[in-house]
Amino acid sequence: MAENENKKYVELLWNRKYDKLEKGEKIPIEKPNLPFQVVETVNKPRLKDLEGGLFDPSQFYPENKYPKDYPKDWKNLLIWGDNKLVMSSLIKQGWAGKINLIYIDPPFFTGADFTIRTKLGDERIEKEPSIIEERAYKDTWSGGIASYLKYMYERLVLMRDLMAENGSIYVHLDWHVGHYVKVIMDEIFGYENFRNEISRQSVFSHSDARQFGRSNDNILFYTKSADYQWTTQYQPYDESYLKSAFREV
């Protein structure tokens, strides 16, 4: 149990989280400011309900017909690189407190090896990932779960710094580490800002010999404050329900 601003909360500890544990001094998260190399800029709003390629010109509004509430100075950014360095740079470049919505699908700490193996004729081909691919996609952690928790903690702190006061974050995980990350997010965002744990049905669920089948993943939904933006979701009634419930209409 730890105490922060006179509030008590449960905290996970791992190696190298604190520099001086007895003084409560956490090791600071490095925040370098790296320049982005701009390859292409697309800042036009897309038309709704149209089919076509991502950069098909017919998919965009003409400039004289932009939606009234569309910010004229907005530019979308698709950034390739280490997400920790990217977020740190965004903070340094003035994006802190400006992101309204974050969704992430991080590694699940499954221990899976994402080396590509295939067979061409009688020859078996194996492609080892590059250094960047290995960091991004190879779900193995030399320091065990402690290194995974450190990895997630540092990035979630940066995400909170980027979020607007009315912002929301959705984190997609599964049974391997979802319960650990939930405690970390309580520490970073505050238990009172936990909104929902959303169950997502797995496509490849099955029963195992000595345990129940795992049939769902989980999405943790947090906000930065109590004053968050929310759009109520509606689903149309089933046709059979309409016929039975509104027979007199």
Q: Which residues contact 212 (CB under 8 A, 6 or more apart)?
A: none
Tens digits of per-residue pLDDT, 43-80? 555 555 545 554 455 555 566 666 677 666 666 778 88
Per-domain boundaries in the chain: 2-36+79-245
Task: Examine the pLDDT at 31 and tell me if it is beyond 80.
Answer: yes
What's the pLDDT tens digit per position in 231-243? 898 888 888 887 7
Q: To the nearest 10°, report the CA torsion of 34, 35, 37, 43.
A: 110
Enclosing H/E stretch for 219: strand 216-223
The pTM assigned to this predicted structure is 0.73
Q: Average of pLDDT values for 169-179?
A: 92
Which residue, among 160, 20, 142, has the nearest Cα to 99 in the 3D structure? 160
Helices and strands (H and E) in the chain: how many: 5, 10
User: Which H/E stretch holds residue 19?
Assistant: strand 18-20
Q: For residue 68, what are its two tokens?
A: 């009234």
Could you tell me the fold of the domain covering 2-36+79-245? Rossmann fold (3.40.50)
pLDDT tens digits, one per residue of 99-150:
999 999 988 776 665 555 555 456 665 656 566 555 555 555 667 888 889 9
DSSP 46-106: BPTT--S-TT-GGGB--GGG--TT--TT-------S-HHHHHHHHIIIIITT-EEEEEE--
**Strand 194-201 relative to strand 216-223: parallel, antiparallel, unpaired?**
antiparallel
